[in-house]
Amino acid sequence: MKKRSLLEAVAGSANVLLLALLAAVMFFPLYYVLVVSLTDPGEYLLKRIVLFPEDWSFEAYAYLLSTPAFMRSLGNSAFLATAGTLCSLAVSSSLAYALSQPRFLFRRGLLLMILLTILFSPGMIPNYLLVRELGLMNSIWALILPSLANGWTVILMKNFFDNVPAELNEAAAIDGCSAFRTWVSIVLPLSLPALATFGLFFAVGYWNQFFAALLYLNDSEKWPIQVLLQNMLLNASNIDLVTPGQQVEAPPTEMLKMAAIIVAIVPVLVVYPFLQKHFAKGALVGSIKG
Q: CB under 8 Å to 73, separation ≥6 — which residues?
A: 223, 224, 225, 227, 228
Q: Widest CA span of the chain, in angstroms?
A: 78
Q: What is the pLDDT of residue 185?
A: 82
Closest alpha carbon to 246 in 69, 71, 110: 69
Cα(3)–Cα(241) distance, integer angstroms: 65
Q: What is the pTM of this model?
A: 0.82
Q: Work out the average pLDDT over 241-266.
A: 75
For 54-106, the pLDDT digits (tens) are 888 888 888 888 888 888 999 999 999 999 999 999 999 989 888 888 888 88
Q: Sign (positive/negative) of CA torsion 110, 115, 120, 122?
A: positive
Q: What is the pLDDT of residue 288?
A: 43
For 262-271, the pLDDT digits (tens) are 988 888 888 7
Residue 39's DSSP bridge partners are: 56
Q: What is the pLDDT of residue 1?
A: 45
Q: Which fold is adopted by the domain 60-287?
A: MetI-like fold (1.10.3720)
Label residue 149 by pLDDT band (50, 70, 90): confident
Whether 257 and 232 have beta carbons less than 8 Å apart is answered as yes
